[in-house]
Amino acid sequence: MSEALFVSLGNSLVMSVAEHVDRNTGIITYTVKGKRLSGSVTVHPRYENKEETIPSRIFLTSDSCKYKTKNKLDDILTINGIKIDCWKTIDLEGKEERSCIYRVNRLGSYGWDSLPDATRTSAHKILDALANLWSKRNDVAELIHAAARANASERLEEEQTTARALTEQLHTVRAALAASEERAACYRKLQQEHQAQSLAA
C-alpha cells in the first residue's frame, strides 16, 4: 500500500487516498478516507468490445459483490453512513460513458430511491477524482498492457470458441451453397430441355 495522497473533492472536502497496484493485472485498489467517508474503489482497464485486443476504457467499481459473497460489508465504500455500490466506465480521454450508484444493505439488496442526492453526488465526485488520479499516472500504458496480458488466456479461449462456431457456420454455408448450385444446374438443364421442346413444336 502506498503512502496516502490528499485529493480535493470541492467545497473544502478532502479525502486521503492510498493505493495498491497489482502489476500482474493492471488493477489498482484505492483506499479512501475522509469526513464521513471510507472504503475502497478498484480501477480496472476494460475492453469496450470483443474486437479490441488492448483495453480502451477504465472501469471504476466499489466491488460490493465480493463483500457480499464474503458476508462482509465493513470495507465497502461508505458515504455519510450509507454503504454504496457504484461503478463508472470512462474512456481513456476522460469522457464518462456509463455509471450507476446505489445503496447496499446487509441483506445484499439494493435501493435506488432511498439514496440521498448529496450522497450520490459525493460518490460521483469520488469516482471522478480517482479516475483523474489514475489518468495522471506515468505508468498508464504499462497498466493497460498488464491487463491485456492478464486477460489474454480468457479472451483467446473466447476467440477460439468464436472461430470454431464460425468454421461450423462456414461448413454449413458451403454445404448449402453446393446444394443450391446442384439444384440450379438441374433447373438449368430442365429449362434448356423445355426450350428445346418448345422450338421443336
Asked if the structure places residue 111 within a domain, the reply is yes
Average pLDDT taken over every residue of the chain = 83
Residue pLDDT, tens place only, 143-161: 999 999 998 988 899 899 9
pLDDT score, position 110 = 54
Residue 60 has pLDDT above 50, yes or no: yes
For residue 70, what pLDDT band results from cuts at 50, 70 and 90? Answer: very low
pTM of the model: 0.74
Cβ-based neighbours of 68, under 8 Å, separated by 6 or more: 104, 108
Compare 200 and 108 and report the one with higher pLDDT. Answer: 200
Asked if the structure places residue 19 within a domain, the reply is yes
pLDDT score, position 107 = 53
Q: Which of 113, 124, 43 has the alpha carbon at shortest distance from 79?
A: 124
pLDDT score, position 140 = 93
Asked if the structure places residue 141 within a domain, the reply is yes
Asked if the structure places residue 169 within a domain, the reply is no
Asked if the structure places residue 136 within a domain, the reply is yes
In terms of residue numbers, what domain contains 69? 5-150
Asked if the structure places residue 100 within a domain, the reply is yes
Domain count, the chain: 1
Asked if the structure places residue 88 within a domain, the reply is yes
Asked if the structure places residue 69 within a domain, the reply is yes
